[in-house]
Amino acid sequence: MQKCAIFCSYRNINLIKRFIPHKLPSFIVNFGPMPDIINEIKFKTARSGGKGGQNVNKVETMVEGYWDVQASLLFTIEEKQRIVAKLSNKINAEGLLLVKSQEERTQLANKTTVVKKMNLLLQKALILQKKRKATKPSKASKLKRLESKKKNSAIKQFRQKPVSDV
């Protein structure tokens, strides 16, 4: 028996060992380590299809995680705006970020998968894209381009039939 990091209770959790939140690559451009949002996620369970055999119609193994973006205390206003802009297709009308998981056979494993997916989504949403610097072609590259154009036009001139001055 070990103490579960997500639910703060003692249970046999061999499945959770593969998910270690502090070992995820969670560094955002200039903001340092990303805060852990486990405490702000609300979970709902439902019956899921797929694997499970006879248990599939009895046990609620599918997990939906809901996280209120605007009510979060972990991110600044600018970060929240960036999250809303980049994850708009995953945020519902109430402003909740929705992530589902029904891949695993147990509810606990699906909850860890939801937390993992949500952290990765937020991590990707908070990465700032570098602005492209407009560059001009160098003088040498311009000359090279003009020389190749002259060369090609000369080749095409030689292909034409000679013009007779009669």
pLDDT: which is higher, 16 or 79: 79
Radius of gyration of the chain (CA): 29
Please check the confidence at residue 7 and state whether its pLDDT lies above 70.
no
Residue 91 lies in a domain: yes
127 SS3 class: coil
pLDDT at 122 over 50: yes
Asked, for residue 90, whether it belongs to a domain, the answer is yes
Which domain does 82 fall in, by range?
18-125
Asked whether the predicted pLDDT for residue 21 surpasses 50, the reply is no
> Is 13 domain-assigned?
no
Q: Is residue 89 part of a domain?
A: yes
List residues bridging with 99 in a β-sheet.
65
Q: Which segment, 78-87, 101-110, 141-150, is predicted with the most confidence on average?
A: 141-150
Into how many domains does the chain fold?
1
4 within a domain of the structure (yes/no): no
Q: Contact, 16 vs 108, CB < 8 A? A: yes
Q: Stretch 17-27: mean pLDDT, rounded?
A: 45
CATH at 67 = 3.30.160.20
Residue whose pair of structure tokens reads 């080749």 in the numeric block: 155
The verdict on residue 164 lying in a domain is: no
Residue 106, in any domain of the structure: yes
Alpha carbon 86 to its chain centroid, in Å, reads 9
Give per-residue pLDDT as tens, 57-68: 778 889 999 999
Between 108 and 31, whose confidence is greater? 108
3-state secondary structure of 69: coil
Bridge-based pairing state of the strands 62-68 and 41-46: antiparallel
Q: What count of residues does the chain have?
A: 166
More confident residue, 33 or 11: 33
Cα gap 72→65, rounded to integer Å: 14
Say what the pLDDT of residue 51 is. 64
